[in-house]
Structure 1
């Protein structure tokens, strides 16, 4: 059996759920119908459905089949290590990115960043500030610090598209994991100027340190979201001895 078959089924069905062809509360076609449609074994279909359930798209209910439980309130899955461009493409979001600042700074000028990235005070960092806009309205401000020595060719042009794509595809580095913390904080004068109208004038702030597969930290990120409009919802599934069996 081609091990990729169930992943292709998963990708097609998850795409239809993300595009709301199947909405929350809808039933997916039965296993029998999926077997006929894709020309695969029942085992392959069940593997695809199990992956959909694991990732929070569906719940398999006895006597009812597979019911969609995903909702668009999960637009910004904080627990996942995923770039903004990847989220935008997967959810077909109408956003564009504007690079507000691109400069080289010394780590010592940003003590928290220096400590998080475990570098010396005179280490050069790229400081990149990007606003995420929809219909000219700023909803997200990302401030990132990258170690310059690790990616000397990083540019404003690359930052306007996808820095992760540059890191993974052009540099051949493996982005592996991150540590994140979420707080709600008053906006600074600079942030209020970018966000313009903000009621209340608070931002949901996600701070993260991102590591390569060799456990080297390479990025410090502060992602500030308009608190009145964004929900950070994570999908969790309880693991018990019964579900492990």
Structure 2
């Protein structure tokens, strides 16, 4: 590993553990070169990596300003529970179970899934608190024909862990929709929006490995805290002249 990459990782660690806090300036290139006993050119390369990774912003006449990196990456194509993301990305959060009861499927969701609105489901609403603020509202509807029982303890902890480990079912795939929508009355009541007028919404219909539909999930995210990411690789263009 190159020396500038080692320095990048060291400063990255200091930003993540908030030795350098959002809005603060990093030490000058001269101070960093003395600290790491390297040339200023090596420091510039490390700072370029930090810039490209979204950790800092260069400001003329000031230096390198640390950016707010309290955004959590939610994969577009993956099928991952919030609990798994929380552990993988070291998100310090609290889950509040707002509702867990049996009811019939709301008509608009039944239309989305193309099933009868009389379908019985476990309706689960959970708030995800980060730094004391509710920044995600998760709404899940699980078909009682597949998930017979759903204790509050399991609903609060991890639905997918309960479904796979306790019930022995294999979750297969999901069809997802991503959209930005105006915040609803429910969003404003249950989330900490600071006056935001819109939220990012993901809707998924989730199937078991044998293709059985068992869940509709809707996650409503505050705009400033989360980003959705995907790794994309360009494929060689097709030769249409063959």
Other structure's SS at 1:82 match: coil
Q: 1:84 aligns with which of 82, 85, 105?
A: 82
Deviation for aligned residue 1:215: 1.0
Question: Residues 200 and 228 of structure 1 are in contact (CA less than 8 Å); yes or no, is this contact kept in structure 2?
Answer: no
Q: Which structure 2 residue ranges, 5 or more long, are not aligned?
A: 1-8, 14-48, 55-68
Q: 2:198 aligns with which of 199, 202, 216?
A: 202
Say which structure is richer in helix.
1
Aligned pairs for 1:154-193 (under 5 A) are 154-193=150-189
Bigger CA radius of gyration:
2
Question: Residues 81 and 178 of structure 1 are in contact (CA less than 8 Å); yes or no, is this contact kept in structure 2?
Answer: yes
Deviation for aligned residue 1:230: 1.8
Q: Distance in 2 between matches of 1:70 and 1:91?
A: 16
Aligned pairs for 1:5-24 (under 5 A) are none
CA RMSD of aligned residues (A): 2.7
1:80–1:216 distance in 2 versus 1, CA, 3 Å: same
| Alpha-carbon displacement from aligned partner over 1:188-240 (angstroms, at most 9, x marks no partner) | 12211222343422100001111111111111011000012222122211233
1:225–1:197 distance in 2 versus 1, CA, 3 Å: closer
Q: Distance in 2 between matches of 1:190 and 1:112?
A: 16
Other structure's SS at 2:97 match: strand
Q: TM-score normalised to the size of structure 2? A: 0.66
Q: Where does residue 123 of structure 2 map in the other structure?
A: 127
Q: Distance in 1 between matches of 2:210 and 2:10?
A: 40
Question: Residues 72 and 226 of structure 2 are in contact (CA less than 8 Å); yes or no, is this contact kept in structure 1?
Answer: no
Q: Where does residue 21 of structure 2 map in the other structure?
A: none
Deviation for aligned residue 1:97: 0.7
Q: Where does residue 73 of structure 2 map in the other structure?
A: 75
Say which structure is richer in strand.
2
Q: TM-score normalised to the size of structure 1? A: 0.65
Q: Distance in 2 between matches of 1:124 and 1:145?
A: 9
Deviation for aligned residue 1:78: 2.2
Aligned pairs for 1:206-221 (under 5 A) are 206-221=202-217
Q: Distance in 1 between matches of 2:141 and 2:228?
A: 23
Other structure's SS at 2:108 match: helix
Q: Which structure 1 residue ranges, 5 or more long, are not aligned?
A: 1-19, 25-66
Equivalenced residue count is 179
Q: 1:240 aligns with which of 226, 236, 240?
A: 236
Question: Residues 175 and 204 of structure 2 are in contact (CA less than 8 Å); yes or no, is this contact kept in structure 1?
Answer: yes
Q: Distance in 2 between matches of 1:239 and 1:22?
A: 34
Q: Distance in 1 between matches of 2:128 and 2:219?
A: 10
Question: Residues 208 and 220 of structure 1 are in contact (CA less than 8 Å); yes or no, is this contact kept in structure 2?
Answer: yes
| Alpha-carbon displacement from aligned partner over 1:155-206 (angstroms, at most 9, x marks no partner) | 2111110010111111111111111111111111221122234342210000
Question: Residues 128 and 135 of structure 2 are in contact (CA less than 8 Å); yes or no, is this contact kept in structure 1?
Answer: yes
Say whether residues 1:228 and 2:237 are aligned partners: no
Q: Where does residue 148 of structure 2 map in the other structure?
A: 152
